[in-house]
Structure 1
């Protein structure tokens, strides 16, 4: 191959949701199957080769770890230039973004949990047993929204006395504030198959901005003829930000309950506005 002004090969390697596939490998073969070019995509998923190719048709094969290979035909012009354009790679295992539209949270197959440090040496895990919500996935993913309501009285840590205390005015104060409400108003990308949900949480009579670190786990059919999408989301909350200042100090000044809660959400959502009745 020789270098000619304006000659060479250009390509962009992307996932179906538009992410660059870094360090994908692009291989070009002629019509006899002989390899004539092999190049690696850069950090932006771009392949740029300056050397000219002989005019004619070629086969372009793109591979990357974790993705199914993709093949296409490229025509090299008389100037020795080939514009492959955008090559889209699908993830192995079929992980794709869920289709746009409404999705309903399925509480029976979802978990809303929180973890707090206890005595500075171990953790106490609790979960909310009553909740519901809806996800609206937009054509422009960044405009997607989330709405969720959680019954504060549904807190369950596996200990009745502790649960009663958590429902009291020292913590959730369920008599005055029976609902925890989250409204996510937009998403921003944080990596392939990962996003940040930007929103607000209302708890204990206080509303604060709270972002969720969101991972999309995939979509598939369910036994009732529907389609489900799975997500995992995490965040951390400071109790004092929601006016929950109660604490008990034990020996050596160690607080009985940590001031920070780690929230862990494992969510299944059903496509549409209703849950299956079966």
Structure 2
């Protein structure tokens, strides 16, 4: 098969994250607005071209005050840096359906290479005969690597907000006509 263009179905896809809070719990959140450009042969993703863009202002942690703080200059500074971007640079097949996808992540004006584990979840036709594929990806980034260093010391030791952000992405995409 050759590479084909796939369009993300946002209503069946998600971009989620979690971060340690007070060193004892996790805060989870999601980004509601994102888009991707995927040129791929689902049978072999090693030659795929993947670009992903997340609207940082679409963050939702189920707490309006916290979301407003995350959008501020203390964190994402969405007025100056409205998007979080990813562009694949290397894809290595690890086994039948698992890949390591390395690419450039641009966040808060900083671009760094990061690697995510991705799984090809399958391919099929929807009830209307449209070709669909599913992918999932997991990874971790350190927010301090991108200049997101706001924090507060805890009276009991440690810090309020962890540095490592765990990212989980689920994608359903349809073949572009």
Paired residue for 2:76, among 134, 149, 172?
172
Q: Give the equivalent residue in structure 1 for 2:16.
A: 113
Asked if structure 2 preserves the Cα contact closer than 8 Å seen for 1:145 and 1:186, the reply is no
* Cα separation, 1, equivalents of 2:133 and 2:92: 19
The SS at the match of 1:251 is coil
* Cα separation, 2, equivalents of 1:219 and 1:99: 15
* Cα separation, 2, equivalents of 1:104 and 1:231: 12
- Distance apart, 1:140 and its partner CA: 6.5
Paired residue for 1:239, among 143, 168, 175?
143
- Distance apart, 1:271 and its partner CA: 1.1
Task: Please tell me whether Structure 1 or Structure 2 has the larger radius of gyration of its CA atoms.
Answer: 1
Alignment of 1:141-160 (within 5 A): 141-160=45-64
* Cα separation, 2, equivalents of 1:223 and 1:185: 35
Moved beyond 4 Å, runs of 4+: none
Q: Which runs of 5+ in 1 are unaligned?
A: 1-97, 274-278
The SS at the match of 1:150 is strand
Paired residue for 2:34, among 102, 107, 131?
131
Q: TM-score, length-normalised on structure 2? A: 0.94
Q: Give the equivalent residue in structure 1 for 2:104.
A: 200
Q: 1:144 to 1:122 in 2, by over 3 A?
A: same
- Distance apart, 1:212 and its partner CA: 1.3
More strand by share: 2
* Cα separation, 2, equivalents of 1:154 and 1:99: 34
Alignment of 1:244-263 (within 5 A): 244-263=148-167
- Distance apart, 1:189 and its partner CA: 1.1
- Distance apart, 1:135 and its partner CA: 1.0
Q: Give the equivalent residue in structure 1 for 2:118.
A: 214
Q: Give the equivalent residue in structure 1 for 2:170.
A: 266
Q: Which runs of 5+ in 2 are unaligned?
A: none
Cα-to-partner distance string for 1:164-202 (whole Å, 9 max, x where unaligned): 000001110001000111101331011221001111111
* Cα separation, 2, equivalents of 1:109 and 1:188: 26
The SS at the match of 2:88 is strand
* Cα separation, 2, equivalents of 1:140 and 1:117: 35
Q: TM-score, length-normalised on structure 1? A: 0.61
Asked if structure 2 preserves the Cα contact closer than 8 Å seen for 1:151 and 1:178, the reply is yes
- Distance apart, 1:99 and its partner CA: 6.6
